[in-house]
Structure 1
Amino acid sequence: MGKLNILIAENDANGKVLIQESFVDTGLFNVVAVAEDGKILKDIMEESDILFPDVILSAAGHGYDVLYYIKRSDAFREIPVVTYSASDSGSEEQKCQQMGALKHFIKPDNAPGYQKMAKELYDLLLGE
């Protein structure tokens, strides 16, 4: 299978660039948009007639809003949502998965970490 289209929600300016470049550099994903928060992501989804990503990646804080919106939308509920956070306490992971997240990752702090996350996500989505 070819590249997957991903929509990302991340509010940190440096983080947005790092995530976007890392995912693109793997050759596995097309980053169709990067939203600063869940509201902007929702606006992007609702205003675009052509945007239907294969997966949404969201920081856990935004992930709650994103998950709530996506999983209750008739048009978008089938889109997998994957969350991530810097915390590895397990409580955010549990909450996100209870709300319908496909997977929760611990936030990497460098490009190789994001590339590894991208590869794992790609394999998960393709069932490999």
Structure 2
Amino acid sequence: MGKLNILIAENDADGKVLIQESFADTGLFNVLAIAEDGQILKNIMEESDILFPDVILSAAGHGYDILYYLKTSDAFREIPVVTYSNTTTGTDEKKCQQMGALKHFIKPDSAPGYQKMAKELYDLLLGE
């Protein structure tokens, strides 16, 4: 299978650049857009007739709102949502998965970490 289309929600300026470049460098994903927050992501989804990502990746803080919005939307509920956070306690992971997240990652702090996450996500989505 070819590249998957991904829509990302990330509010940290440095994080946006790092995640976009890292995911693009893997050759596995087309980064369609990076939204600064959940509301911007909702606007992107609602205003685009052609934007339909294969997956949405969201920081857990945004993830709660995004998960609720997507999983209660007839138009978007089938889009897999993957979340990530700095928290290693499992609280974010449990809450996100209860709300319908496909998977939760611990937020990487480097390009190689994001590339590894991209590969794991790609394999997960393709069932490998």
- The aligned counterpart of 1:42 is 42
Normalised by the size of structure 1, how large is the TM-score? Answer: 1.00
| Residue 26 (1) aligns with residue 26 (2) | yes
- The aligned counterpart of 1:78 is 78
- 1:45 match: secondary structure: helix
| Residue 53 (1) aligns with residue 14 (2) | no
Q: CA deviation at 1:5?
A: 0.1
Structure 1 gap segments, 5+ residues each = none
Q: Distance in 1 between matches of 2:68 and 2:31?
A: 22
Query: In percent, how many aligned pairs have the same letter?
Result: 87
- 1:78 match: secondary structure: coil
Normalised by the size of structure 2, how large is the TM-score? Answer: 1.00
* Structural RMSD (CA): 0.2
Q: Distance in 1 between matches of 2:102 and 2:67?
A: 10
Provide runs of 4+ in structure 1 moved above 6 Å. Answer: none
- The aligned counterpart of 2:62 is 62
- The aligned counterpart of 1:119 is 119
Amino acid at match of 1:94: K
